[in-house]
Amino acid sequence: MLVRLVYASRAAEPMTAKMLDTVLQQSRGYNQSRGITGVLCAHEAGNSFLQVLEGSREEVNRLYNKIVRDDRHTDVLLLGYAEIGERRFSSWRMGRIDLKQVNPSTLLRYSERAELDPSTLSAERALALLEELITTVAG
């Protein structure tokens, strides 16, 4: 059975490219071997993360438990968790979205201000935003 989990968090220290590279590198090997797909959106200006994880219930729960305990971020807030019929991010071992490259008007469609605060988004809005961004600025 497949599930999708989406959460928001705050970086423990000001985000650096090196930290992001390390996390992504770590993630891609693990996720591929465990059948996990998803996207990590890093918002440098707001020092926040928004991530979606898809995969088997067991693997997604196991990974989320590791992620929650990771001291590189804090205030991990579960936005949504649902059983799903199919994946939305199936081509991504872990896609990366850098919000610096995003057009402010795109963010404004989803949030009150152009400075995105992912912790205020509903799961549905968060997923819609990630789905739109993955088609434009993901790497």
Site residues for ligand FMN per CB under 6 A: 23, 26-27, 30-31, 40, 49, 51, 63, 66-67, 70, 72-73, 94
Q: Which is nearer to ligand FMN, 18 or 66 (CB)?
A: 66
Rounded to whole angstroms, the maximal C-alpha distance in the chain is: 38
| CA dihedral angle for residue 90, residue 91, residue 96, residue 100, rounded to 10 degrees | -100
The H or E element containing residue 20 is helix 17-34
In angstroms, what is the minimal distance from the CB of 105 to ligand FMN? 26
> Tokens standing for 114?
């152009």
Q: How far is CA 107 from the centre of its chain?
A: 15
User: Min. distance of Cβ 112 from ligand FMN in angstroms?
Assistant: 23
Q: In the complex, what is the shortest distance from the CB of residue 133 to ligand FMN, in angstroms, rounded to a whole number? A: 16
Nearer to ligand FMN, 72 or 109 (CB): 72
Q: Minimum CB separation from ligand FMN for residue 116, in Å?
A: 15
Calpha distance 105→37 (Å, rounded)? 27
Distance (Å, whole) CA 127 – CA 29: 23
Using the minimum distance from each CB to ligand FMN, give the nearer residue, 51 or 130: 51
Q: How far is the CB of 95 from ligand FMN (least distance, A)?
A: 10
Q: Which is nearer to ligand FMN, 105 or 139 (CB)?
A: 139
Measured from the CB atom, is 67 or 137 closer to ligand FMN? 67
Q: DSSP for 52-80?
A: EEEEEHHHHHHHHHHHHH-TTEEEEEEEE
